A and B are shown apart, each in its own frame.
Chain A
Amino acid sequence: MSIEEKQNSPTFQDSDSTEYPKNEKEVSSFIKKFYKSGIPVELVGSGSKKKMGKPLQCAKTLNLSKLNGIIEYLPEELYIKVKAATPIKEIEEELKKNKQQLAFEPIDFGFLLNGKSDYGTAGGQVSCNISGSRRFKVGSVRDHVLGFRGVNGRGEIIKSGGVVVKNVTGYDLSKLICGSYGTLAALTEITFKVLPAPDESKTLVIHNQKLEFAADLLYRSISSSSDISGAIYLPNEPKVAGCVMDIEKTFKLNDLKNNGSITAIRIEGSKNSIDQRFKNLSNELKVANFDISILETIQSEIFWNKIKTLELFSSTKNNILRIVIPPSECVNLVYQLSNKFKYYFDWGGALMWMEAFELSEEMFESIRKKIIKLGGYVTMIKNSDYLPYVEEVFTINRDRFNITQNIKKSFDPKRILNASKMYTGI
């Protein structure tokens, strides 16, 4: 058999027992079979986020990459329906033709996890529910999934939602599926809400501000009526052993000055609207007092793209943590962590990306405790040679574990789908 033939044969098992179902029906029959004999199976789209979550050791792999292609795209209805393993790139290119976009800014973990850009598939984005800088304005992935089809752990084809935004018919399983890391169902079809892409983008960069003041700038910008769509702080300190914090090298742009930390605020929309809001915001923040740079559309887009691809961490060998907290706690968090790690803030201070050199599991757990106290949570996004494994990648408490376990059972009673990828026992 040629590779091609092998991949096209639903019953073929190659050396690592990977199956390549061609359609939803085949996904269902495979899972039915696994369910019968209780065989654990790993679900893979394109593998871009395979390293996320806990490592799996499954007898079988279901590679869903053949469930690929745009099913229906109606720009005037603001939705696109795709097979689950359709590459995000392909979707975005199609949307671009109609000046539309996935407003949640799909995140690119490629640089971080595999050394090159890789947005992965629609199903992968949905399974991780990690959104870009526009989060505080437009919501996250889960707010843009209108409906889905998939196969649960009994091999049954299930669906929820539809193609319309306003829909309260039955429980909103589309939400539940988002961020479930393939532990509830093998997704086969996803309908995304799409939105008009802004004509232009403009970024106000305020240089060389200390954390406290920068946090206040971000807060005032988001709380203004200038309708901003990005608010980040990139400190140029602390200088931490084992981490390179080189914002100058990463963010090399013609119009971007080179002067210490970066507080950046993005405004998007039509040209006139941007100009007016930019002026209002500049007045409100009294930017005349600061050293600033202004990035117009092209450079502004490059700048935010670098945020989306986590380029600041691209060649790191260290652990990467993703920390979400109430935005008011951002300064406090840095102090609680004794200013010992390389970090930056997105989402106006509500999201911290952190790089940790020679992190031990005990240190990780003690960081987690502090974050929980502040009302937040932390995810281990990338392991390192120093700390290649942590028991609890995600934060969870006992009550929540019990509920989670019950929900898992209702989809996947024999725990065969991506078992223990999120939590041991789920």
Chain B
Amino acid sequence: MNKLAMPKIDRKLTSKKIEIVKGLKKIIKAENVLDHEDQLRPFETDALSAYKQKPLIAVFPENTEEVSKILAFCNRERIKVVPRGSGTGLSGGALPLADCVLLCLGKFNKILEVDYKNRCVVAQPGVTNLSITQAVEEKGFYYAPDPSSQIACSIGGNVAENSGGVHSLKYGTTTNNLLGVEVVFMDGTISRLGGKTYDSEGYDLLGLITGSEGLLCVITEVTVKILKKPQSVKAALIGFPSIEDGGKCVSEIIASGIIPSGMEMMDKALIHATDNFVKAGYPRDAESMLIVELDGAEIEVEELIEKVSEIAKKNKSSSIKISKNEKQRLKFWAGRKAAFPACGDMAPDYYCMDGTIPRGKLAEVLKEIGRLSKKYNLPVANAFHAGDGNLHPLIMYDANEKNALEKTEKFGADILKYCVKVGGVLTGEHGVGVEKRELMCEMFNNNDIQQQIKIKKALDASSLLNPGKVYPILRKCAEEGRVHVHRGKTKFPDIPRF
């Protein structure tokens, strides 16, 4: 396993484990405090499974007051806390620290209110993303953000990561669909931000904590907007003889004034992988493939499908299939949704990247990924939320091979650096976590990062909530000759870098 630089372990604390457990058992039921090695093993990693670390203790509070008391206790005793939802995060955001209390929100699993009058659902953070839609489906409503992990990931985790999905192009990510939260800050203060109203007055704290990766507060309740299902939905499956043609088609569709509800692209490697895996009927001879989904009034969908087909033909499409019914539409999606397991079938391990680029740079970036793939001698399959330029290159490797993970990570880092170089960003929806922490300096300079750290300190004075994530520990962010070393962490110059 790879070594990862993390905040220094507080040995004084770890030696007090028995007392801390006692203290926590005074706050919550004894059975909700886990401290045995065996009990802790299931929580040693999230979906970035290359990194593992058992927490000192794991706790399962059952209500907000308990969360508040736990945080106040930990704040007083200077104990680090790592929040955890369902553990499907792909950037190591919920990776425990050896001296931390892992705060698991699994017991917060109830939908508290379905409020059709205000078109919203109030849920506890441990409720899965999909069960929100399931709760309102009978009346023809749904919750728009739909991460591929939606059967497992928690709505609290979605808020913490500002998760998106294939429909974010038209309907936005979590932040655009969130009305309110209840949160607990590290000092135990319980606060409500937003509610059932649109926007709120004063600083947009709701916007600030969305996507804050568990560093600013623990989310204990969530109010999300629900939408009425569109009258009609159809998808087009379009093959192209080259990546460039597919990329151009994407840009042209957007430039023509169409905002599809989803626009996904796959390269040849992934077309084959997924088609082998679920027999989705994908065009296997194509170099790239688009799924373009349109929704709205029936007549509008027909018109738009027509327009999209024309644009596709103009861009040399080699095949176009339009979904004839709901079953076929879902089949089109089945392959795309199986992208991860399909890669899992092709190689012992895969590593999923998540940069975003301006759409127009798609072909250029793909070419670079191809070049890097040769350089590192690692195969890669590419899935994109093409409509919003969010790339998911899946690098395949074998963790049992010597240095394979390091090589893969370097490859991944090179891809992300290139994304930034062409005007994009490091992460579109998976978060920075521990994974991309050291790359933050590619995008931000010292001032930018210091401003963010100051906000962190404003809400968590002793930096006890999820430390070691998001902000660089090892790298120097230099600006105009002024070199800043974050928290003087050059003390460990020999620890391998990202």
Residue positions of A touching B, CB distance < 8 A: 74-78, 99-100, 129, 131, 135-136, 139-140, 142-143, 152, 156-160, 162-176, 178-180, 184, 195-196, 219, 222-227, 269-270, 272-273, 275-277, 280, 324-328, 347, 350-351, 375-377, 379, 394-396, 399-400, 402-404, 406-407, 409-411, 422-423
Contact = CB atoms under 8 A, between A and B. Distances in A.
A366 B152 CA distance: 46
B145 to A, nearest CB: 11
B202 A140 contact: no
Given A225-B228, A277-B297, A407-B455, A171 B203 contact: no
B37 interface: no
A219 B117 CA distance: 7
B198 A276 contact: no
Contact of B427 (A136, A169, A280, A404): A169
Given A76-B251, A166-B390, A172 B358 contact: no
Interface of B: 115-119, 140, 161-162, 164, 168-169, 172-173, 175-176, 185, 189, 191, 195-208, 210-212, 216, 228-231, 251-252, 254-255, 257-259, 296-300, 303, 356-360, 385, 388-390, 423-432, 436, 440, 443-444, 447-452, 454-455, 457-459, 470
Given A179-B204, A328-B118, A351-B198, A166 B356 contact: yes
A239 to B, nearest CB: 29
A165 B470 CA distance: 20
Given A77-B254, A170-B440, A272-B300, 5 more contacts: A164-B428, A169-B425, A172-B208, A175-B206, A400-B205
A131 B204 CA distance: 14
A222 B141 CA distance: 12
Contacts of A350: 197-198
A178 to B, nearest CB: 6
Q: Would you list the 10 A-B pairs with minimal beta carbon distance, nearest first?
A: A175-B207, A273-B300, A166-B428, A196-B257, A328-B117, A326-B196, A76-B255, A406-B458, A410-B454, A410-B458
A222 B444 CA distance: 41
Contacts of A328: 115, 117-118, 196
A379 B252 CA distance: 43
A273 B169 CA distance: 20
A223 B116 contact: yes
B300 A166 contact: no
B24 to A, nearest CB: 25
A219 to B, nearest CB: 7
Contacts of B118: 326-328
A138 to B, nearest CB: 9
A326 to B, nearest CB: 4
A225 B140 contact: yes
B133 to A, nearest CB: 15
A131 B176 CA distance: 14
A327 B211 contact: no
B388 A164 contact: yes
Contacts of A227: 230, 296-297
B202 A326 contact: no
A139 B115 contact: no
A167 B428 CA distance: 4
A180 B117 CA distance: 30
A423 B202 CA distance: 9
Given A172-B211, A273-B303, A326-B196, A222 B191 contact: no
A375 B299 contact: no
Given A169-B440, A410-B455, A75 B197 contact: no
